[in-house]
Structure 1
């Protein structure tokens, strides 16, 4: 399947009905992680929705204390999700028990065995990405990073473009601060949309795949509506030039 342009971030979601509602509304990329402690919730939401499994891109992440027991930990995640495989398995951070050779080789074995489809990374910087390529001889299936108008790691975007893999943006709404940023509010007003929709549309225009977290139908629908927004080059440049910076999840 094509990589969905916009997905659902599930950190903090503890109700499977929210996941089911998202799927019913057209979300096809569902992102969870071991550290979120809600893989079972996401799995139940998927089961309730009753859609064809092949129509979903399901991702989870190995936490930093599980990177030396990749197979065992992945099987535990699959059990919680109630799935035979996931489409993306991420190294959540290149920290803790992470050893590029052993961790990535173990993930490659999982891919060979059909338990995962893609080996992905999260919070990787350029040196980490280069080491990934050295070990596996290929780029990651995706790199998921904090990316929003108040934190723009352009080096990761350029690397993703150069090596032709998706860049996935978590916290794409700047932790709820986008409605306080004047250039974003001005873009939103020009298009008759919310600042949150303007932020998502900006990421989409740059070819980034945002995964905003939402649990109510209203917010899920509002985020999806950003897919129909077409920003001008001037709009994109205005948000690119935002001078305020606030990294929500620094190392």
Structure 2
């Protein structure tokens, strides 16, 4: 991890902020305001997807922010249904986002539940051609990641999976780490009980709320986290969690909520 102001992990072509802003279920018309609020709140990592149908709105927020391109880490994703039009999909994403390259492009789900090394080869080719700095996957198993690596010699830089204290799996986390794959968690609050006594107690000890503690837990582990909200106050509040420092004992207690 790098500076405390914006903790990050290294990925191909640069560093990936551990705190990202998720845009799932944010309509295109609402994306400029929501993403704009996130950028104003200090988020420097924006996560979208072709399947979210909001890339134009996200691109507008990026353009209106006045931030330099290299100051914002931008991720989007290839839908599994587009497995036969890989190159066209990334070109469409770049056009809609108004960018000349991505920081990270993910295969959103295994196409038909299969790893599909042939699709992965095309994703890697887009990286070689400079359309994205890093490439990865989302919702892939360790076995499927190994299949991609064995077939192509290129390991995904990132695996974005549903993740939270309630879904914490030490074996999955260790397996990704052993492979040099960054664990990025989505929907950090959905499976969590924000009223859980352990979360509430730790939050009170830090004059914080449970959502901030969950964000802090991800950061303490070195997991990337992409909380999503359209409420500017909640967007700012969630961001503060990335700067909340938990003790090793507190992290272990939160780990114990899984299962």
Q: Does TM, scored on the shorter chain, surpass 0.5? A: yes
| 1:68 is aligned to 2:81 | no
Residues in 2 aligned to 1:222 and 1:187: alpha-carbon distance in whole angstroms: 16
| 1:230 is aligned to 2:217 | no
The two structures have a TM-score, normalised by structure 2, of 0.88
Deviation at 1:135, TM superposition (A): 2.4
Over the residues paired in the alignment, what is the CA RMSD in angstroms?
A: 1.6
The aligned counterpart of 1:122 is 138
The two structures have a TM-score, normalised by structure 1, of 0.91
Residues in 2 aligned to 1:48 and 1:233: alpha-carbon distance in whole angstroms: 40
Contact 2:157 2:180 in 1 (8 A): no
Task: Please point out which of 115, 138, 143 is paired with 2:154.
Answer: 138
Residues in 1 aligned to 2:93 and 2:125: alpha-carbon distance in whole angstroms: 16
1:86-137 Cα offsets, whole Å, 9 max, x none, are 1111011112396623201111211111111111100111111111211232
Contact 2:115 2:147 in 1 (8 A): no
The aligned counterpart of 1:206 is 221
Within 5 Å, give how 1:1-251 maps onto structure 2: 1-14=14-27, 15=30, 16-96=32-112, 100-174=116-190, 177-243=192-258, 245=259
Residues in 2 aligned to 1:98 and 1:71: alpha-carbon distance in whole angstroms: 19
Q: 1:133 to 1:204 in 2, by over 3 A?
A: same
1:51-104 Cα offsets, whole Å, 9 max, x none, are 111111111111110012100111112121121111111011112396623201
Contact 2:20 2:44 in 1 (8 A): yes
Structure 2: gaps spanning 5 or more residues? 1-13
Structure 1: gaps spanning 5 or more residues? 246-251
Q: 1:197 to 1:59 in 2, by over 3 A?
A: same
Residues in 2 aligned to 1:4 and 1:212: alpha-carbon distance in whole angstroms: 13
Q: 1:99 to 1:5 in 2, by over 3 A?
A: closer
Contact 1:100 1:135 in 2 (8 A): no
Deviation at 1:48, TM superposition (A): 0.9
- Deviating beyond 3 angstroms after TM superposition, the runs of 4 or more aligned structure 1 residues are none
